[in-house]
């Protein structure tokens, strides 16, 4: 099928372009904002080890599978699953897997953009010296005043969404590819600068110990689910991004090698974020388990007291914005591709419509921090509920379905043709995708609902 069929949106110009784009899709707020704070909340090293196992045994095999499905279908996730269902002789209802990924991607982007807006605002706060000599109370009040102002959050959310749409509207070559060729190298340069600083802090070894020492008494079934959900969230699995990027992948590029490299780089960035953040946290006597506000309520205290803190503060929040932008363009691309292919829209109009829906959905997250702060469902604010449902339920369910389809429904000769792996390697992947990945996801779900 893929010998002749190509995506109407174009292709990545090279293997490096795909790896940069897919790594950009994976490396985002999940690595730099979310990974450190959920690691802090779940006890450190034992959680990190479970996360790494989830990436290796579940994340990578499913990433290979999702990329493979995308390249074989060469269309948006919904159409890809329709085409592949027919090819495999499977039920047409598998198209809902494409819908699940697209909806999850838009829901995640709706709050992702709001958090990225925080980072954008904090670039200017750091540059203007807002953190200088500020104590804990002042920094916490600064953050509370900021998220308590709907108009401020709407402004920064709008600005970030506009930047995302401007890039996506330019297409695969001129938009997605050109942006990540700048964003990703810049991201790694900034991370290196902050890593050098973190190594000079007095809390460096305490931070390293917290991040890598094992204390399994702090693990629970829910923590394992969170680790698995984070692996899906961080790698961008189950939300249509990997599948649609795979649709733009040239035939001569090895899916398995590229997926392993992407997952390795993504995991490295998450660990680097922890290595940078926790030494700063411990050096200044801050709480590593302070939740989603970790980098907005605790790190500014450190930036306000350290030598050259305004510069390091600016660099850190610029990193967040760059990482968020490279992921945001991937989150909205599946829906844009679907609108172009299904509705015959121009790419610009498809971006505008999908962006408008996502922008409006972002108000749910914005208001959950202020005017709707007291409204809770199952004890969760609307933002917390949205985050939990997407990252810990929708993405693993999507990943489970991808594993089942690729391992059990897709014909072996088709997956062998797409992957081009030598037989021992193919058999390892097939064992992981057919048995290990589905079983792991299913067992964790059983534990969480109280069956085990």
At 237, which CATH number? 1.20.1740.10
Asked whether residue 249 is assigned to any structural domain, the reply reads yes
Would you say residue 2 lies in a domain?
no
Give a yes or no: residue 4 inside a domain: no
Residue 291 forms part of a structural domain: yes
Q: Is residue 10 part of a domain?
A: no
How far apart are alpha carbons 92 and 86 in whole angstroms? Answer: 7
pLDDT of residue 147: 94
Domain hosting 182: range is 15-448
Contact 42, 218 (CB under 8 A): yes
CA distance 415 to 430: 10
Residue 451's pLDDT is what?
Answer: 52
Secondary structure, 3-state, the chain = CCCCCCCCCCCCCCHHHHHHHHHHHHCCHHHHHHHHHHHHHCCCHHHHHHHHHHHHHHHHHHHHHHHHHHHHHCCCHHHHHHHHHHHHCCCHHHHHHHHHHHHHHHHHHHHHHHHHHHHHHHHHHHHCCCCCCCCHHHHHHHHHHHHCCHHHHHHHHHHHHHHHHHHHCCHHHHHHHHHHHHHHHHHHHHHHHHHHHHCCCCCHHHHHHHHHCCCHHHCCHHHHHHHHHHHHHHHCCCCCHHHHHHHCCCCCCCHHHHHHHHHHHHHHHHHHHHHHHHHHHHHCCCCCCCHHHHHHHHHHHHHHHCCCHHHHHHHHHHHHHHHHHHHHHHHHHHHHHHHHHHHCCCHHHHHHHHHHHHHHHHHHHHHHCCCCCCCCECCECHHHHHHHHHHHHHHHHHHHHHHHHHHHHCCHHHHHHHHCCCHHHHHHHHHHHHHHHHHHHHHHHHHHCCCC
- Predicted pLDDT at 220: 75
Per-residue pLDDT of the chain (452 residues; tens, 9 = 90+): 545 566 666 667 677 777 877 777 777 777 877 788 788 888 788 899 999 999 999 999 999 999 999 999 988 899 999 999 999 999 989 999 999 999 999 999 999 999 999 999 999 999 988 888 777 788 888 999 999 999 999 999 999 999 999 888 887 656 666 777 777 788 788 888 888 888 988 999 998 988 888 877 777 777 887 888 788 777 878 888 889 888 888 888 899 998 998 899 889 888 988 898 888 888 877 777 777 677 787 778 778 877 777 888 888 888 888 888 888 888 998 999 899 988 889 989 999 999 999 999 999 999 999 999 999 998 899 999 998 888 778 888 888 899 999 999 999 999 999 999 888 999 999 999 999 989 887 876 665 555 54
Residue position matching structure tokens 């399994």: 216
Asked whether residue 79 is assigned to any structural domain, the reply reads yes
pLDDT of residue 218: 73
pTM, whole model, 2 decimals? 0.87
CB contact at 8 A, 281 and 302: yes
**Token pair for 393:** 């339920």
Q: What is the count of structural domains for the chain? A: 1
- Residues listed for the chain: 452
Asked whether the beta carbons of 114 and 365 are under 8 A apart, the reply is yes
Q: Residue 2: its pLDDT value, please? A: 45
Whether 127 is in a domain gets the answer: yes
Hey, how many other C-beta atoms are within 10 angstroms of the C-beta on 413? Answer: 8
Cβ contact 88:410 at 8 Å: yes
What are the two backbone dihedrals, phi and then psi, of residue 377, each rounded to the nearest 5 degrees? -125, 125
- Asked if residue 371 belongs to a domain, the reply is yes
């Amino acid at each position: 099928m893929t010998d002749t069929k190509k995506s109407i949106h174009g292709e990545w110009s090279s293997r490096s372009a795909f790896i940069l784009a897919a790594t950009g899709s994976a490396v985002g707020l999940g690595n730099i904002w979310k990974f450190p704070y959920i690691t802090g909340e779940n006890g450190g090293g034992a959680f990190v080890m479970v996360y790494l196992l989830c990436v290796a045994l579940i994340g990578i095999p499913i990433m290979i599978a999702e990329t493979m499905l995308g390249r074989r279908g060469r269309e948006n996730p919904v159409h890809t699953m329709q085409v592949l269902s027919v090819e495999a002789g499977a039920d047409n209802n598998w198209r809902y897997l494409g819908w699940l990924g697209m909806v999850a991607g838009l829901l995640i982007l709706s709050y992702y953009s709001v958090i990225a807006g925080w980072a954008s605002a904090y670039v200017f706060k750091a540059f203007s010296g807002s953190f200088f000599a500020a104590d804990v109370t002042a920094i916490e009040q600064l953050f509370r005043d900021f998220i308590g102002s709907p108009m401020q959050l709407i402004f920064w959310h709008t600005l970030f969404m506009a930047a995302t749409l401007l890039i996506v509207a330019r297409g695969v070559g001129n938009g997605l590819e050109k942006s990540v060729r700048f964003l990703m190298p810049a991201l790694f340069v900034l991370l290196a600068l902050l890593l050098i600083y973190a190594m000079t802090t007095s809390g460096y070894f305490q931070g390293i110990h917290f991040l890598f020492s094992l204390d399994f008494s702090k693990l629970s079934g829910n923590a394992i689910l969170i680790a698995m959900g984070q692996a899906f969230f961080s790698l961008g699995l189950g939300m249509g991004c990997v599948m649609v990027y795979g649709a733009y992948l040239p035939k001569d590029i090895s899916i398995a090698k590229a997926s392993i490299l992407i997952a390795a780089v993504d995991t490295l960035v998450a660990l680097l974020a922890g290595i940078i953040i926790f030494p700063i946290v411990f050096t200044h006597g801050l709480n590593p388990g302070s939740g989603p506000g970790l980098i907005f309520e605790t790190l500014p205290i450190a930036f306000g007291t350290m030598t050259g803190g305004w510069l390091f503060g600016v660099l850190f929040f610029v990193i967040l914005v760059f990482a968020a932008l490279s992921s945001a363009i991937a989150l909205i691309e599946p829906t844009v591709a679907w609108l172009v292919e299904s509705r015959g829209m121009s790419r610009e109009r498809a971006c505008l419509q999908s962006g408008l829906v996502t922008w409006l959905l972002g108000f749910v997250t914005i208001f959950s921090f202020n005017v709707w702060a007291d409204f809770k469902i199952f004890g969760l604010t609307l933002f917390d509920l949205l985050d939990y449902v997407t990252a810990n339920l929708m993405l693993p369910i999507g990943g489970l379905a991808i594993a089942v389809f690729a391992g059990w429904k897709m014909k072996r000769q088709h997956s062998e043709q797409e992957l081009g792996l030598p037989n021992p390697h193919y058999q390892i992947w097939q064992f992981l995708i057919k048995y290990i990945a589905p079983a792991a996801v299913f067992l964790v779900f059983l534990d969480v609902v109280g069956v085990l």
